[in-house]
Every structure is written in C-alpha cells, then in structure tokens.
Structure 1
Amino acid sequence: MPTAANRLDWVDAAKGLSIILVVMMHSAYGVGEDLNGTGVLHYIIGWATPFRMPEFFLISGLFLGQVIARPWTAYADRRIVHYLYFYALWAVLQIVFKVGLGTGDFASVGSQILWAIVEPYGVLWFIYMLAVYSLVTKLLFSFKVPHWLALAAAAALQIFPVTSGIGIVDHFAAYFVYFYAGYAFAPLVFRIVASAQGNALWAALALVGYAVIEGYLVFAGGAELHPRGITMGYAALPVLHLALGFIGSLAVCLTAALLIRLPWMGWLRWLGEHSIVVYLSFSIPMAASRTLLLKTGLITDVSTVSVIVMSIALLSPLLLYWLIKKTGWGRFLFERPAWAHIPGTPGSRSTIKPAAVQPAE
C-alpha cells in the first residue's frame, strides 16, 4: 500500500476508535444516571478519560498544515463555515427533538436555538469548537506566531484549568493545545506511526505497557467511578494530565495503524471515514433507545443496557446515511449544499456546473 494511502487508512481507523469511545461514553453515562449505577463500559471510558477528547482534536489537526496557507476565503469555507453549517443544522434538529418534542416546551425552542449561537449545544460542542480552533490557528499563522509560543500558551491554559462556566472559553482552554499540536507536530506523528508499523511487535508491547500504566494512574490515588463520570486519581494531576492526553492520543494513532493492517478491520476505517455522520446524529437514537429500553423494565443491568444503547446509537446514523444515499432524500443532513459555501469557493453556486454538495467529512 502506498505511504499516502496508508496514512489515510490509519487516520480513518483512529477516527473510528475515537467515535466509538465518544458514543460509548454518552451511552454509559446516560444509562448510569438513569439506573443510578455503573457498568463495564464505565471502566473502559474511565480508563480512556485522559485521552478520549484530546486524541479526537489532535487527529483533527493532523492535516491542517495542508490548507493553513490558503487564502482566507478558501480556508474559512473549508475549515470554519463547513463545521458551522453542520453545527447549526443539527443543533436546531436536536433542540426541536429534545426540547420541543421531548418535553413539549415549544416556547423555549427559539430561545435555546439563539443561545446555541454563543454557547455550544450538547454533544455538538466538538463541531463548534473545531470551527473556533481552525479560526484561531489561522490567525496565529497569519500573524506568524511561533509554534513554541502558541503551544506554551495553550498548554498553560490546559494546565491551569479555566472554569468560567462559559462553554466556548472552557472548551478552548481544555483542548486547543491538542488541536494545535496535531497541526504543529503532524510530520513527527506520521514518522512515529510509520516506524511503529515497521516494528509492529515492539509497538504492540509498548501499547500494552502503556495501557497498564494508564490504568494505574487513572484508578489509583483516590479515584471514584460515578454513574455520570469518573474522578481520576493520579492522572488528574495538572501536568501529568496534559502529558497523558498527548501520550494517549499517540497511542490511539499507533493502535489504529496496527489494527488497520489486519484484513478484517476494514470496517473500522470505514467507520472513521464516516465518523462525522455518527457524531452529528447519534444522540437522538441513543436517547430514544435508552428511554424505550428502560420503560420496558425487561433489562435493568447497567452493562447490558449500555452496550445495547451504544450499539443502536452507532448503527442508527449509518443506517440513516445509507438510506439517504440510496434514496437521495435528506442529503443536506450530511452533505453541505452549494448555497452553504462562501461565493467563489469550490462547491459554491458560482463555481459548480451541476448541483454539487460537500460531504461532512
């Protein structure tokens, strides 16, 4: 397999691992809260807590260097407007479903939609922050801020936790360092992964050792597992927490690079390639399936219910995506239409001949 294609494969596989962890967390915590207990998925997510979101952002920054030097209009269309379109669309859909249809409080739907403009809504905060991180990184690039200075400032924000209560501020402080590191250190990450693929046995042994150490740091030192999360032990220490975020992110990349070499792991690459489809739409079937399962009262085991809910939340968006591709209806849900592009940019009405759309990926 050519090197370029190989890189894309493991990056997609890493995205696949990432989206599984995200859906697993929300499924387990939702069920845990409703049943007031913890299950096996709580332990897996607890172990992955130091790197679960950092690796998502680091991977998202890996290919930013290929577009960062583009003119502002082209860059903004691909890295800012692109994400904001899907955020706005799905925020409205989720608010209507959860607030309007879910509670019958249609009077507050409009106010919540307006509030979602300045306060990232629910699980969609990740999409919102990708646009913010892309904007800030482009500004840093335009003003020629050195990587070391940008990383030092971003690391300081992460090490000294910012708890303003304002979502956009707190999320920026917590995770921008990983997104920027993905952009700044992309060549190094690719070299490390390539080396690991050439030394698969040693890489696998290193990953096993890392997993054991990670588990000890997370669960030792006064850790407590809760239905809605975990209070980490030693892993919560500020500088160590930052380091574990980076190490864990790299471990996900190495794991993906090794797994994708197995002939039966193509599904993981495909899932990662469509991870944004799952991220945008998993919360609605997740909430609905959890509610229906618990109302039946047939299954009350936290682990069992969590696994069922997670499976439905992962598969439902892919089924919806397949139906849209098959019928052609609803393509705007996962593909950005021409009108949602900045005029003059690829895919906009002024630059296309037949109707065209840009996939969410």
Structure 2
Amino acid sequence: MMFSQFLHISGKQEVAAVAVPKTGSRLQWVDYARGLAIMLVVYRHVIVGMKRAGLPVSQLMYDLQEVVYNFRMPVFFVLSGIFLAGSLARRTAGEITKNRVFTILYPYIIWGSITVILQIVFSNFTNSKRSWTDLFNLLLDPRAIDHLWYLLALFNTNVLYLLLNKLMKDGWLHALLAVGMYVLSRMPVMHGNSFMADMCYFYLYLYVGVKLSSILLVPEKREKILNVRNLLWLIPLVLAGQYFWFQIWQMEDYAAEERKYLPLFFVINLLACYFMYIISYKVSLLPRTGWLAWLGKHSLYIYILHVFVASAVRTLILKTIPDLNVWVIAGICWTIALILPVLLYNWLRPFGFDKLFSLKQNN
C-alpha cells in the first residue's frame, strides 16, 4: 500500500509547489541517511585500498561492502532529487544551476585535478598510476578518476533535470525519457563513456526523488511513509532482493545479466533506499545519535577527502605496525577517514581551506 504511493508518478507538470521550511533548518533524517550512506562508501574504499595494497583482505571483509554496492549511491541521488524539488519551489532554475556550479562542479574540478597531480607526484606511494593526460578524464571518463565521479554525475543529473523540466511540459513523457536513459546507460554503446553512462543511469533515481518530494517534504505524509512498522513487510523484500542481486553481481558476465534484470534491479535498489530512509528517520528520533547526523551534514568533505586520509593512515600503519590484524587496520582507517576530513575542514577554514570546496560566499 505504502510502496505504491512511494513510487507514484503523476502526468502533470513535474514540480508542484512543495511546502519547504524557509528557515535555515535541515531535515534531520536526511542527514542521518547521508551519514549511513557515507559510512558504507568509506568502508568500501578502505577495503578496496587495502586489497590493492596487497593486504590479506578476507572474502568476508570484501563481501560486507560488495553486498550493499548496488544501492549506496542511489541513496544520495534520490535525496538530491527531493531537495531539487524543494529548491524549485523557492528559486529559479538559473539560480539553482549557479548554486550547483559553485558547490558541486567547482569542487569536482579542483579536487579531481589535485587527485591526479598528487598521484603523479607520489606515484611510488599510491595504488594508481597516472599521467598528465588523465586530467582530460575529469570530463571525458570521470570513473577513471576514482571515487570523485559521483560529483560530476550529481551535477549533470541536476542540471539535466532543470533543462528537461523546462522543455517538457508532459510529465509522462519526461518519465518515459528518464526510463529510456536508464536502460540506455547499460547498453554496450555506453561502455567506456562514464560521463554519459552515469548521468543516464542515475537520472532516474534523481527523478524519483523529485516525485517523492511531495510526500517526504510534508511532515504528515513523511511520518506515514517512514513509519518503522513498514519494516515488517519491507525487510523480507530487501533481504530477498539483495540476495538475488548479489548472486548476479558475482557472475562473470554481470553486464549482460544486469541488462536482463535491469527493471527488477531498479525496484530492488529503491526498496533498499526506502529501508535506509526508514532506519534513518527512526534513528533521528533517538537520543545520543547526533554524531550520525554530524557525519551526514559533512558528507561532501568526507567524500572528497576520505581516500587521501585512508591511504595516508594505512601507509603509516604498515610502516610502524606491519603485523597488525587486518580487521584492526580496516577499523582504524575507516574511523579516521570518517572523522579527520571534517576536523581538517573546520581547523583549516580560517586559512581559506573552505574555498577549495565551494565558491559560495560565507560557505
């Protein structure tokens, strides 16, 4: 019953006026959702980095991040769609585009360039081998620049929605286009073109987020859709969906299998996102859980800096305590990679460090 409302797509104009608080307050549960998602993202990159460095990463350690690989990033794109709809109720498309340039595209170019340059200069100490031509991949093939591809995909999907929402007055046609782009993203023609593939793949998740804004930005509706009682029917579906996806994910020819089950995988991913949002909403109501919202509120800085931090911590540990248990190494790297980026950002702000993350005034 709730899930049909969760996925409802109307045929009317894309964004209706959504009642969004005009104060500086944030939706607490959203910060919790971002906090949970960024923890999963950082764990993956810590484990992958350890494996590339030749550490004896067990299959269990690796599978703990692989089994949630499919829905971690959709969580962010759906949330972005929710906020995009809220922004359109208050600001023009031009104002929002300028904001996205200043807060998403700008730090992507800055930190993508820094990443490539550092990997070239310190090539003897990194897992990635770069050349100066990799700077062109910032726009040509962003997946080649490790984890930062997400920022460009987020910018592209936001700006594309603003454009299509202005050009396409038929909501059903827009929905059909979003589905078509999703299917196209996994066709062989997109291989090696992560700029287009990521934009097409994640656009549908952002679009769903926009449609969900009329539910999740309204307190009365949000309390019903994110009620913890919905977990009674949701958890079995999520577990079954993740089990099925993970079995396909482990197949040698995953790309071909993914195309076969693409619509089902989309539903599986949305169910997992829904699960994350319910958990986040429930946790946000509990005492002494503000640390998770703190992580979510600073998720951009964590996302950009955590790979640098985890790599430095791992290198330091291997040079000082090389025989340390791999689980302990992972735990230390994971914890510091989550916390230190935020501390560095706040410590160095007085020296202009924040200018590397945004062009907005009074950031």
**What RMSD in Å do the two structures reach over aligned CA positions?**
3.3
Which of 31, 34, 43 is residue 12 of structure 1 equivalent to?
A: 31
Q: Which letter maps to 1:23?
A: V
Q: Calculate percent identity across the aligned residue pairs.
A: 24
Structure-1 separation of matches of 2:181 and 2:281: 31
C-alpha change, 1:47 and 1:83, in structure 2 (3 Å) is: same
**In the alignment, does 2:40 pair up with 1:21?**
yes
Which of 133, 140, 154 is residue 178 of structure 2 equivalent to?
A: 154
Which of 87, 99, 102 is residue 67 of structure 1 equivalent to?
A: 87
**1:274-313 alignment, distance < 5 Å:** 274-296=298-320, 298-299=322-323, 301-313=325-337
Q: Which letter maps to 2:117?
A: V
1:41 Cα deviation after fit:
4.1
Q: How many residues align?
A: 330
Q: Which letter maps to 1:330?
A: F
Structure-2 separation of matches of 1:39 and 1:55: 25
Q: Which letter maps to 1:216?
A: Y
Structure-2 separation of matches of 1:235 and 1:72: 34
Say if 2:46 and 2:333, in contact at 8 Å, map to a contact too: yes
Which of 120, 139, 143 is residue 117 of structure 1 equivalent to?
A: 139
1:63 Cα deviation after fit:
1.3
C-alpha change, 1:289 and 1:302, in structure 2 (3 Å) is: same
1:203 Cα deviation after fit:
3.2
Say if 2:235 and 2:275, in contact at 8 Å, map to a contact too: no
Unaligned runs of 5+ residues in structure 1 are 338-355
Residue of structure 2 in register with 1:209 after alignment: 236
Residue of structure 1 in register with 2:12 after alignment: none
Q: 3-state SS of the aligned residue for 1:35? A: coil
1:254 Cα deviation after fit:
1.0
Residue of structure 2 in register with 1:224 after alignment: 250
Structure-1 separation of matches of 2:132 and 2:51: 30
Q: Which letter maps to 1:253?
A: Y
Structure-2 separation of matches of 1:291 and 1:212: 36
Structure-2 separation of matches of 1:294 and 1:79: 39
Q: 3-state SS of the aligned residue for 1:282? A: helix
Normalised by the size of structure 1, how large is the TM-score? 0.79
1:79 Cα deviation after fit:
2.2
C-alpha change, 1:308 and 1:55, in structure 2 (3 Å) is: same
Q: Which letter maps to 1:317?
A: P
C-alpha change, 1:181 and 1:211, in structure 2 (3 Å) is: closer
Say if 2:140 and 2:193, in contact at 8 Å, map to a contact too: no
Which of 98, 101, 110 is residue 80 of structure 1 equivalent to?
A: 101
Q: 3-state SS of the aligned residue for 2:122? A: helix
**In the alignment, does 2:212 pair up with 1:185?**
yes
C-alpha change, 1:204 and 1:262, in structure 2 (3 Å) is: farther
1:51 Cα deviation after fit:
1.1
* Greater alpha carbon shift after TM alignment, 111-120 vs 90-99: 111-120
Say if 1:9 and 1:269, in contact at 8 Å, map to a contact too: yes
**1:24-103 alignment, distance < 5 Å:** 24-33=43-52, 34-35=54-55, 37-68=57-88, 70-103=91-124
Structure-1 separation of matches of 2:259 and 2:239: 13
Q: 3-state SS of the aligned residue for 1:256? A: helix
Normalised by the size of structure 2, how large is the TM-score? 0.79
Q: 3-state SS of the aligned residue for 1:50? A: coil
CA deviation string 1:18-65 (max 9, x = no partner): 111111111112223333643544333222122111111111111111
